[in-house]
Amino acid sequence: MPAHGHRSGTTPGPHLPKRLSALGILLAAFSLLLTLPAPAADIPARGSAHLGMGVVAHDGQGGTPATGDATQTEGVDVSSHQGNVGWSTLWGSGVKWAYAKATEGTYYTNPYFAQQYNGSYNVGMIRGAYHFATPDTTTGAAQANYFVDNGGGWSRDGRTLPGVLDIEWNPYGASCYGKTQSAMISWISSFLTQYRARTGRDAVIYTATSWWTECTGNYAGFASASPLWIARYATTVGTLPAGWGFYTMWQYTSSGPTVGDHDKFNGALDRVVALANG
């Protein structure tokens, strides 16, 4: 008599243990994926940071200032993201001053800096340079030296603004760069002291009130010397960081004409010249 086959459901087939084993491996792999940190693609490349990089994500964007409320002078800020900038177009639209990113940390210089820094000057603008701070990589003094050595200096020509310390959210990791509030204050102080020693000028501080409050405890001690450049993409600047009774500059949008980042100087053009002259 021919042998009878196994009746369905009575004895496991030879492949079932292997299938269960494979399923277990797949489930374990899926579980591991859920616990892994975000992929590196979510973290921008070092050197790509720029003024206001974290403003929209942290503070939102709520309109632009009404025109004619006060005497303000239009400006722009640029980095490598803008490449070669159409300075004559911006000049024709009424932009009178500009800041270009020079450096970041002690590891990056903007490859478009010369076109941006000299190009704005050549069309008639008052210009300056800024440094994107990374307090988790090197000391404040080291970064001030790197900044001055790579375009962030100052000259008494009536057309060059003092350098800017761009201190804001860390695009590469923890918002406050892993520093306590007191350690952050010390780092900023180190940068400002060295910048003044190298140039004779007090650096401008660019920041957002929410970041400053979180990462320095809303420290008021730099306001007496350093002009404030406030970041707020809204119809008004809102509350300023402690110590500053007024802002000198205001980055009010990242979606302006020709170049996205547009700014207001709190005063007429002669006040911009006054800041340049120190």
CB-side neighbour CA atoms (13 Å) of 278: 14
Q: Which two tokens stand for residue 212?
A: 């400053």
Q: Which two tokens stand for residue 225?
A: 């010397």
Q: Is 202 tagged catalytic?
A: no
Q: Are strands 262-265 and 73-78 parallel, antiparallel or unpaired?
A: antiparallel
Q: Is 42 tagged catalytic?
A: no
Catalytic residue among 59, 166, 261, 263: 166
- Per-residue HEC secondary structure of 78-127 comes to ECHHHCCCCHHHHHHCCCCEEEEEEEECCCEECCCHHHHHHHHHHCCCEE
* Pairwise CA distance, residues 267 & 70, whole Å: 8
Catalytic residue among 59, 77, 104, 261: 77
CA 104 to chain centre: 10
Q: Is 166 tagged catalytic?
A: yes
Q: Which of 188, 173, 175 is nearest to 225 (CA)?
A: 188
Catalytic residue among 59, 168, 202, 263: 168
Continuous segment of H or E residues that includes residue 131: strand 126-132
* Pairwise CA distance, residues 146 & 151, whole Å: 9
CA 172 to chain centre: 11
Which residue's structure tokens are 């790197």?
Answer: 146
Burial class for 131, CB neighbours closer than 10 Å (0-12, 13-18, 19+): buried
- Which positions are annotated as active-site residues? 77, 166, 168
